[in-house]
Amino acid sequence: MDGRASSQTITDKIPYLLDAGIKPIVFSAITGIKDQRFPHHQFLAWGPAAFRFDFRHWISNQYGRGLFYKISTGLVSLLLAPFIALEKFFLGYSSQWSWAIPAFIHGLKLIRDGKVDLVYSTGGAWSAHLAGLWLKKSTGVKWIAEIHDPLVIRKSSNDQGFTKPKNRDAQFRQSLEAKIIQYSNFVWWFTEGAIHYAKIRNPNLGTPGNAFGFIVLPGAEPPGGLNAIQSHVYSDNLNLCHFGSLAKDRSLSIVLHALASLFKKYPLARQHVRVHAYGAPLDILTINAVKQFSFDDVLITHGRLEKDPKTGISGRERVVQKMQDADVLILLHGKDEWCAEYIPSKLYDYLWTGRPIWGITHRNPQLDQMLSERGAYLSAEENPVQIELALERIWLDWQQKKLNTPTGNPIGVKQAVTTILGAVQKSVNP
């Protein structure tokens, strides 16, 4: 799916897996583009909530979001409403759980026909890991799992994730994590924090008969086919650009509050600083901050950049063009405890652009080190003074046309595939 992090993470690996002699058979949802390089099976989830979600995306991809989209999706939503209510009442799982059913059925046939040597579940959506678990238990096939986001969401630094959650979906994810470690052959996470807490909850990780766990930095290929870093041209405005989703726990409001302080100290900055938001609607905290400070002309929203039907330029290509136009790229980490186990995938795209990054991070030494080593501006999310000082430094550097020059190299995908294949090969030939 164009621009979706969970899809991009596996798609970028494919060329290196093919070069290594691996012959993939891919199972995915129907919401993305079908790959023509190998067998690619796209399945509808069988549950009503997931069916509604997939149907909306499929109609949007086929016909756009015009009148037909509104009528057809509205009718389907109305027809499915009672079944969605029953699904939520009896199960309480996130909607995508039911995709595991067709994936399991088709995977089982392929394994029994001798066409599959290894199951590789990647997500993102935990339904992929659920299908992998069912296939492992049914056939004994080798199974490796790539966990993008923590399955167990901790609430505080004192919470290790042992307490049984009240939410049934969270309960299931907690159980699924333990089963992945018990039944899979290999499992890897994307951060040091994620594997640290998973090991605390599951001390059997890495012991004989259980999964071997390790860290893989997912990296990214040059976004949008980027093949050269453009030399930057300063304009009349200092353009601070954020790409990706926004929410109460990852909000541009902290930047806007810092801007209000900057404008009091440097009134001239009010005429020149602009914040651009790409990729998602504004969260409620950002909307309120815009109203509070009358920043309608300061914060400019662009929405999600999709494929341009006239030029054929993909959404990802359009995004990277805008990234390279930025003076500074804003990396919002969030403020929840799970930030200790999470690095925004957008970072890996940012590193390819050659533009300065302003990271506003929360309780993640690994991320802080990655940013510091690359000359980024850095602030702690919980420290408003740090945020204001970083913004002031950016403003002064921009005035002198001396914004930080990024150092170090971007992180590609080849290193991730090499790490994975190396671990698997080492187990085969210790």
Task: List strand residue ranges (DSSP E) for 273-414, in order.
Answer: 273-278, 299-303, 328-332, 357-361, 377-380
Q: How many CB atoms lie within 10 A of CB 293?
A: 16
- Contact at 8 Å (CB) between 39 and 116? no
Per-domain boundaries in the chain = 5-219+415-428, 226-399
Q: What is the token pair recorded at 429?
A: 């030939």
CA angle in degrees (0–180, nearest 5) for 82-88-93 = 145
Q: What is the token pair recorded at 70?
A: 């509104």
Per-residue pLDDT in tens (0 to 9) along the chain, 430 residues: 655 667 778 899 999 999 999 999 999 998 888 999 999 999 999 999 998 988 888 888 788 888 999 999 999 999 999 999 999 999 999 888 999 999 999 999 999 999 999 999 998 889 999 999 999 999 999 999 999 999 999 999 999 999 999 999 999 999 999 999 999 999 999 999 999 999 999 999 999 999 999 999 999 988 766 766 778 899 999 999 999 999 999 999 999 999 999 999 999 999 999 999 998 899 999 999 999 999 999 999 998 887 777 887 777 788 888 999 999 999 999 999 999 999 999 999 999 999 999 999 999 999 999 999 999 999 999 999 999 999 999 999 999 999 999 999 999 999 999 999 998 887 655 4
pLDDT at 361: 98
Please, is 369 exposed, middle or buried when counting C-beta atoms within 10 Å of its C-beta (0-12, 13-18, 19+)?
A: exposed
State the CATH architecture for 226-399.
Answer: 3-Layer(aba) Sandwich (3.40)
Q: Mean pLDDT across the chain, nearest whole number? A: 93
3-state secondary structure at position 33 = coil
pLDDT at 228: 66
pLDDT at 307: 77
In whole angstroms, what is the distance from residue 93 CA to residue 95 CA? 6
pLDDT at 428: 59
3-state secondary structure at position 91 = coil
- Contact at 8 Å (CB) between 326 and 276? yes
pTM above 0.85, yes or no: yes
CA angle in degrees (0–180, nearest 5) for 221-198-357 = 35
In whole angstroms, what is the distance from residue 3 CA to residue 254 CA? 25
Quickly name the fold that domain 5-219+415-428 has.
Rossmann fold (3.40.50)
Q: Do domains 5-219+415-428 and 226-399 have the same CATH topology?
A: yes
Q: What is the token pair recorded at 234?
A: 């300063």
Task: List strand residue ranges (DSSP E) for 208-288, in order.
Answer: 212-215, 238-243, 273-278
Angle in degrees, 0-180, between the axes of helices 346-353 and 315-325, rounded to the nearest 10: 60
